[in-house]
Structure formats: C-alpha cells, structure tokens
Amino acid sequence: MAIDMAVGTPTIEQFREQARAWLRQNAPARTAVRDEHDVSVFHNLDHDAELEVLRELREWQRLKFDAGYAALSWPTELHGAGLPTEYADAFKEEETAAVAPTRHELFSVTVNLIAPTVRIYGSDELRSLLLPGLLDGSLLACQLFSEPGAGSDLANISTRAVREGDEWVVNGQKVWTSGAQFADWGQAIVRTEAGSKRNRGLTTLMVPMDAPGVEVRQIRQMSGGTSFNEVFLTDVRVPDAYRMGDVGDGWGVTRATLGFERANASNKAGVGGSFEQLVDLARRTRSLSHRDVRLALADVRMREIAAEIALRRDKRARDAGEAPGAAGSMRKLQWVAKLNRVSDLARTLLADRAVADLGEPGTFSWNAHVLGAPGYRIAGGTDQIQRSIVAERHLNLPPEPKVAESRSWKERP
C-alpha cells in the first residue's frame, strides 16, 4: 500500500507501518546485489555489470516514485508528498532494513545533490524538464566541477562559456567526474565573464551529456574500477534555458550542491566493509581473541556509534530550522576516519593475503576497501579543506590568508 493520506497526515508510527507493508510487497529481489564478501568502497565492475546495477536502482526508484516515497519531504507541486523531514528519515530507515544495499555514486549524486539544486535554482521550465526524471530514476546527472587546475581551489576554474544569442558556447576540461559515462546531464560551473576574479563571473549550466562536443574519457583507478572520468567540452552549445541561478551566480549554486554533498557524505550505508564483516574477518583469521584486535574493533564500533549520534543531533538541528553550518564537514571527517580505521585493521589482520589473491574468499577482496577508502579523503572536498571549514565556521579561528584574491584567474600561478 502506498502512503494513505485519506484521513489526513498519518502519525509517524502509522506511516512506518504503511511503509513496512509497502516494502514487504515491493522490495526487489536483487540480482546485482553485493556478494557477502564485497567490501568495496568504489565499484570495480565492468561496464555491463555497472549498467545492471544502475538498471536495478532505476527500477526501484521508479517504484518508490510512483508510490509517493521518492521525495517525501518535497512539496506536492514538485512531485513530493509534502511531509516533514522526519517521515523521509523514517522511510530511509525502513528501506535500509528491508532492501539489500545496492548503491551507485551517480544515483546518489542525482537524487541527493543535483535534484535539490535544480529545485532551488532551476527556472520553472528547467524544473519541469528535469525534476520528474531526476526523481524517478529515468535521468542521471553528474557534477562537472573539478578541473586539472582547480580542485580544492574550485574558484580557479577556467572552462569558459560565451553567450551567442540564446545559447552558451562552452569550452574547457573537467576531471574526476563520477559516473559521467552513464549520465544524461551534467551540472557544470563555467566562467562567463572574461577576466573575472576568483568566484565572481561564474555561472552554472545544466549540460546534456549527449550534446555534440562533449567527450567522456574514463580514468582507470588503482583499485581496478573506472568510477570517474575526464570530460572534454569543445564548442558545446547549451541553451540559456538550461542555466541555474543568475548569470554570475554560479558560485552560490555550486556551494549549495557542495553543501548537500557534505551533509550526505557521512550517511552512506553499504560503502566499504562493515563492522560485522570486520568481526567475521577477525574470526576467520583466528585473531578475535587478540587484545589489540578487540581494542581496534571497539574503536571502529565506537566511531560508528558516535557518527550515528552526530547524525541524529544534526537532523534535530535541521528539523528545528537551523542552517547546517560546518556540521556536514565534521561528520564527513568522522566518517572518513572510520573508513580508514577499518582499512588499518583489515590490513593488519590479512598481512600478505591483502596483497596476493590466494583464492580464499573474503581475504584479497579487502583490497577494494583499502585502496578505495583514501578516495573519500579527497572527494567532495579534502580532509584539509573540511578542517579549514570547521576551523573558520565552527571554531571561529582566523581565516586562511587569501594571498591571490586580488588577481584574476588567468594571472594566478
């Protein structure tokens, strides 16, 4: 049964009951689920297997969308259910308990980062064009932010867009674009004012990834997968109707997307090896009774519990209408530290079996956690950048000196 609003808004308990019943009937029997020994942080699948994961996620999203569960806290006129955010949180909990955690970075970027940005900054026309598809799983969108010369220092981007009539002509290169090879759209930050300085003169465009002049080249990672790409943009024509926010306001739009990213980063069920899988590994390597191993396991579990408490605290603040501030950065740092503690212990337990595949299930596979975990120290803003955010915005320490602030991006080293 989908959400029953016949007698007004259900109480949260009634809603949970309805959601559980719906999930019992509709939760998919997955074929592309992770096997019990999959502890990967990023997909290390071939192209077809990755497409199959996306197909299953799209189908599941479509089912949720049709039943009203896809955008519970969004307003009804924007395809949502108009319920308070605690209902969306409750559904997420029930869904996590009922559905095997198949995941894909591009899916999460589409639904959790780009859809809410389009909701805030898209024109009515752009919202009608994109929001139904971004919410029901039929359209996938990637983030075209980083460039070879602009990562942490994103304000240094040099991809240019020049206005010609009702269109923008875009030229430049983006890099590390997660999922670009499967994306229908890309949210691009481009420089629209020649000679502008730092974060001024930037604009956000939604670029159709099949437009002439868009070329996607996959990057092979040390873990074996190809999660991200280089994207070359050569004379790509983008209608002005696909612009988000005002001309020159691209920085504000991008910061909003990055804010959604940080708030989501600490909330990724099913990324990497779990505490339970780590305990299992300790048991199988006959190390569970070792004092240092037990202490390290306790440390991982404590970090998980601390992260759950922090998430609940920040959700309460959000529901009370408080701005997120540096909370997302703090939670991302906490989560990344936990991922890396899991790596440390897995490496210690496996010793040489971590580097040579001896055919024993659940051993060498930890490589996909150990080699993938450092990626999240970088993705969505590096650890150092998150620390600067916490220092400046939470602890009110003096800001980092902006030495090159007065120079245009072209003059900067």
Ligand X SMILES: Cc1cc2nc3c(=O)[nH]c(=O)nc-3n(C[C@H](O)[C@H](O)[C@H](O)COP(=O)(O)OP(=O)(O)OC[C@H]3O[C@@H](n4cnc5c(N)ncnc54)[C@H](O)[C@@H]3O)c2cc1C
Contacts with ligand X by CB under 6 A lie at 142-143, 145-146, 151-153, 176-178, 228, 375, 378-379, 381-382, 384-385, 388, 400
Q: Which residue is nearest to ligand X (CB)?
A: 151
Any residues with CB less than 8 A from the CB of 257 and at least 6 apart, and which? 113, 114, 117, 143, 187
CB nearer to ligand X: pick between 142 and 209: 142
Q: Please, what is the minimum distance in Å from the beta carbon of residue 37 to ligand X?
A: 22
Question: Which region, left, alpha or beta, applies to residue 41 given φ > 0 means left and ψ of -120 to 50 means alpha?
Answer: alpha
| Those residues with Cβ within 8 angstroms of residue 218's Cβ, 6 or more apart along the chain or in another chain | 181, 226, 228, 229
Between the alpha carbon of residue 239 and those of residues 130, 162, 169, 215, 254, the distances in Å are 14, 12, 9, 18, 19
Least Å from the CB of residue 336 to ligand X: 11
Alpha carbon 42 to its chain centroid, in Å, reads 12
Q: Which is nearer to ligand X, 178 or 287 (CB)?
A: 178
Q: How far apart are CB 107 and ligand X at their closest, in Å?
A: 13
- What is the smallest separation between the CB atom of 146 and ligand X, expressed in angstroms? 3
Residue 85 CB, nearest distance to ligand X (Å)? 26
Residue in the structure block whose two tokens are 């079996």: 353
With respect to ligand X, which residue has the nearer C-beta, 102 or 146? 146
Residue type, 341: R
Nearer to ligand X, 135 or 183 (CB): 183
Which residues neighbour 407 within 8 Å (Cβ) at sequence distance 6 or greater?
197
Q: What is the DSSP letter of 91?
A: H
Known catalytic residue at 105: no
Q: What Rg do the C-alpha atoms of the chain give, in angstroms?
A: 22
Taking the least distance from each CB to ligand X, the nearer of 63 and 175 is: 175
- In the bound state with ligand X, the residue whose beta carbon lies nearer, of 105 and 167, is 105
Nearest CA to 171 among 226, 109, 215?
Answer: 215
Report the DSSP beta bridge partners of residue 187: 143, 206
Query: Residue 89 carries which DSSP code?
Result: H
Residue 15 or 145 with smaller CB distance to ligand X: 145
State the nearest-atom distance from the C-beta of 49 to ligand X, in Å. 19
What is the DSSP secondary-structure string of 122-162?
S-HHHHHHHHHHHHHTS--EEEE--BTTBSSSGGG---EEE
CB of 21 to ligand X, least distance (A): 37
Task: Decide if 114 contacts 257 (C-beta within 8 A).
Answer: yes
Q: How far is the CB of 177 from ligand X (least distance, A)?
A: 5
Helix (H, G, I), strand (E, B) or coil at 61: helix
Considering 261, 276, 308, 411, which one is annotated as catalytic? Answer: 261
Whichever of 137 and 375 has its CB closer to ligand X, that residue is 375
Using the structure block, give the residue that is written with the tokens 């923008």: 168
CB 226 within 8 A of CB 218: yes
Q: Which residues contact 135 (CB under 8 A, 6 or more apart)?
A: 61, 65, 70, 71, 74, 79, 111, 115
Q: Which two tokens stand for residue 177?
A: 């674009």
Catalytic machinery residues: 261
